[in-house]
Chain A
Amino acid sequence: MGLRRRYLPLAGLLAAVIGVQLAASATNSTFYLTQLTMAAYYCLVIIGLCLLMGYAGQISLGHAGFFAIGGYLSAALTSHNFTAVSDTLLMRTLDRAGLLLHHQSLYGDSLLSLQPWLAFFIAIGVAVLIAFVLGIPVLKLKGHYLAMATLGFGIIIYRIVLAAEFFGEADGISEVPPFQLMPGLAVSGDFSARVQNYYIAWALLLFGLLLLLNLINSRMGRALRAIHGSEEAAEAIGINTARAKLYTFVISAAFAAVAGSLLTHFNGGIGPSEASVMKSVRYVAIVAVGGMANLWGAMAMGIILNFMSLRGMFGSYDDAVFGGVLLLIMLFAPQGILSLRLKNILWAKRPMTGK
Chain B
Amino acid sequence: MEFSLFLQYLFAGITYGIIYAIVAIGFNIIYNTTGIINFAQGEFLMLGGMISISLLQVMPLPLAIAAAVAITMVVGALIQMVFIRWIENPSVLRMVIITIGISILIREAALHIWGESVRTLPYFIGSSVTAVTLFGTRISPQVLIVIGTCSIMVLFLSIFFRYTSLGREMRACAANRRAATLCGINVKNMVTFSFMLSAGIGALAGAVMSPITYSQYDNGTGLAIKGFTVAILGGLGNSLAAVAAGLFLGIIEAFSITILPLAFQDAVAIAILLLILFIRPHGLFGSSEAARLKEF
Contacts and interface: CB of A to CB of B under 8 A. Distances in A.
Interface of A: 57, 59, 61, 137-138, 140-145, 147-149, 151-153, 155-156, 159-160, 162-163, 277-278, 281, 284-285, 288, 316-317, 319-320, 322-324, 326-327, 330-331, 334
A148 B87 CA distance: 23
30 contacts: A57-B93, A59-B96, A137-B278, A138-B274, A138-B277, A138-B278, A141-B277, A143-B295, A145-B296, A148-B225, A148-B232, A149-B277, A152-B270, A152-B273, A152-B274, A153-B270, A155-B225, A155-B267, A155-B270, A159-B267, A277-B221, A316-B112, A319-B108, A320-B104, A323-B100, A327-B83, A327-B101, A330-B94, A330-B97, A331-B83
B296 A142 contact: yes
Given A143-B93, A155-B266, A327-B83, A278 B104 contact: yes
Given A326-B100, A327-B101, A331-B83, 20 more contacts: A57-B93, A143-B296, A144-B296, A145-B277, A148-B37, A148-B232, A148-B273, A149-B274, A155-B225, A160-B264, A160-B267, A277-B221, A278-B104, A319-B108, A320-B104, A324-B104, A327-B102, A330-B98, A331-B87, A334-B94
The 6 closest A-B pairs by CB, nearest first: A323-B104, A327-B101, A163-B263, A143-B296, A320-B108, A137-B278
B281 interface: yes
Contacts of A151: 225
A143 B97 CA distance: 11
Nearest to A288: B97
Interface in B71-95: 83, 87, 91-94
A339 B264 CA distance: 44
Contacts of B270: 152-153, 155-156
Nearest to B108: A320
B29 to A, nearest CB: 15
Contacts, number: 113
Contact of A323 (B83, B93, B105): B105
A268 B76 CA distance: 44
A298 to B, nearest CB: 15
Given A155-B225, A163-B263, A326-B104, A137 B97 contact: no
A142 B294 CA distance: 11
Contacts of B263: 159, 162-163
A285 B100 CA distance: 10
A152 B103 CA distance: 16
Contacts of A156: 267, 270-271
B11 interface: no
Contacts of A277: 221
Interface residues of B, number: 39
Nearest to B39: A147
Nearest to A151: B225
B281 A143 contact: no
Contacts of A142: 92, 296
B261 interface: yes
Contact of A159 (B87, B100, B266): B266
Q: Which of B37, B98, B104 has the most CB of A within 10 A?
A: B104
Nearest to B263: A163
Given A152-B273, A330-B98, A322 B104 contact: yes
B216 to A, nearest CB: 15
B37 A144 contact: yes
Nearest to A334: B94
A148 B274 CA distance: 9
B228 interface: yes
Interface string B270-296: 110110011001000000000000011
Given A143-B92, A151-B225, A159 B264 contact: yes
A323 to B, nearest CB: 3
Contacts of B91: 334
A320 B221 contact: no
Given A148-B228, A162-B263, A137 B277 contact: yes
Given A137-B278, A143-B92, A159-B264, A284 B108 contact: no
Q: Which of A160, A319, A330 has the most CB of B within 10 A?
A: A330
A319 B104 contact: yes
Contacts of A317: 108
Contacts of A278: 104
Nearest to A153: B274
A147 B96 contact: yes
Nearest to A284: B97
A155 to B, nearest CB: 6
Given A160-B267, A327-B83, A331-B87, A320 B105 contact: yes
Given A141-B277, A152-B273, A330-B98, A163 B261 contact: yes
Nearest to B86: A331
A331 B98 contact: yes
A320 B264 CA distance: 28
Given A144-B92, A144-B296, A320-B108, A330 B101 contact: yes
B283 to A, nearest CB: 11
A97 B26 CA distance: 58
Nearest to A328: B101
